[in-house]
Amino acid sequence: MDKVAVNLSGPPQTMLATLYAKALDAGLANPILGDRYAEEVVRRIDYDWSQTSITARNCASVTTRTAHFDTWAHQFLAVHPSAVVLHLGCGLDSRYFRLRPGPAVQWYDVDHPEVAALFTRLYPTAANHHVIAASVTDPAWLADIPEDLPALLIGEGLTMYLSEPDGVGLLRRVVDRFPSGELQFDAFNRLGIKSQWINTVVRRSGSTLRWGIDGPDDILRAVPGTRLLARVRWFESDTFARLPRAYQVMGRLMSRVPALANMAQYHRYAFGREC
Ligand SMILES: C[S@@+](CC[C@H](N)C(=O)[O-])C[C@H]1O[C@@H](n2cnc3c(N)ncnc32)[C@H](O)[C@@H]1O
């Protein structure tokens, strides 16, 4: 089979790094995520993967996050077998195929057109799985999503690429449209945005990170109707506990300085009627 050429820049390019991290992890003796789809997709893409700066030693910085959001999504779907999933800024992530949601779930993978085109080319079609080629900040695509089911918004590695007004507008539109649901996304705090020059993946892609979220209050104030379910710092998650000692030492050091502790966080909110 011919390999698929990619020529991406800006935010779309960054998903090559997260994809490659998952593929490398899958090849390890004790993988965190074990994503065989990522391995296969990487094999089918013609790209100099060394450009991503991801190696077997640092891939866990991505896969611990992905495993964490798989767990949260799985928990939501276990309670809501009929639901809409908005997987925003999906990149080439195989979450739909990893989680295999039930037949009453409508799943939407949304990303910029160049990424959505690759997704459609590289993954099989599946019932109730839809790929939308759009900016997540464009209100138009949401109007076509069924509005009578509980909704799960997942934004992994997304919010930092949005401006604050665009990000808040997106969250408000989702909360206003569906009867109930959850918002699950990760965020960098303002220090994380200021120090974006240390992020090799972002720098090499030519992207600019914009939206810094210091804590849940930023969201609870800006998005009426949200209730905090969890805020987990990177080093507090169950998946982080599976990493080697060097990471644990770094986590302990970060936990002592609040601004560093909040550099990378996972947020989970409920909205709408209580279930
Ligand atoms: C760091 S990658 C994460 C990809 C995937 N969620 C993962 O974890 O592997 C960021 C993704 O967000 C997408 N993205 C950023 N801004 C976006 C926007 N305004 N609309 C749609 N997708 C966006 C990029 O195209 C890219 O695929």
Q: In whole angstroms, what is the distance from residue 78 CA to residue 28 CA?
A: 29
User: Is 1.10.40.30 the CATH number for 61-272?
Assistant: no
158-194 pLDDT per residue, tens: 999 999 999 999 999 999 999 999 999 999 999 999 9
Structure tokens at 23: 């593929």
The yes-or-no verdict on residue 240 having pLDDT over 90 is no
Residues 104/79, Cβ–Cβ less than 8 Å: no
The yes-or-no verdict on residue 275 having pLDDT over 60 is no
The secondary structure of 118-143 as a DSSP string is HHHHHS---TTEEEEES-TT-TTGGG
Q: What is the pLDDT averaged over residues 85-105?
A: 98
Least confident of 6-10, 132-136, 221-225, 260-264: 260-264
Percent of the chain with pLDDT over 70: 99
5-42 pLDDT per residue, tens: 999 999 999 999 999 999 999 999 999 999 999 999 99
- The tally of CA atoms less than 13 A away on the side-chain side of residue 174 is 28
Residues 26/43, Cβ–Cβ less than 8 Å: no
Q: What is the pLDDT averaged over residues 136-163?
A: 97
Closest C-alpha residue for ligand 1 atom 18:
135
200-230 pLDDT per residue, tens: 999 999 999 999 999 999 999 999 999 999 9
CA 104–ligand 1 middle distance (angstroms): 26
Residue 155, ligand 1, Cβ within 6 A: no
Residues 109/131, Cβ–Cβ less than 8 Å: yes
Residue 89, ligand 1, Cβ within 6 A: yes
Residue 93, ligand 1, Cβ within 6 A: yes
* pLDDT class of 244 with cuts at 50, 70, 90: confident
Helix (H/G/I), strand (E/B), else coil: 189 = coil
Paired strand residues for 234: none
Residue 115, ligand 1, Cβ within 6 A: yes
Residues 182/153, Cβ–Cβ less than 8 Å: yes
Paired strand residues for 231: 267
CA 169–ligand 1 middle distance (angstroms): 17
Q: In whole angstroms, what is the distance from residue 86 CA to residue 223 CA?
A: 18
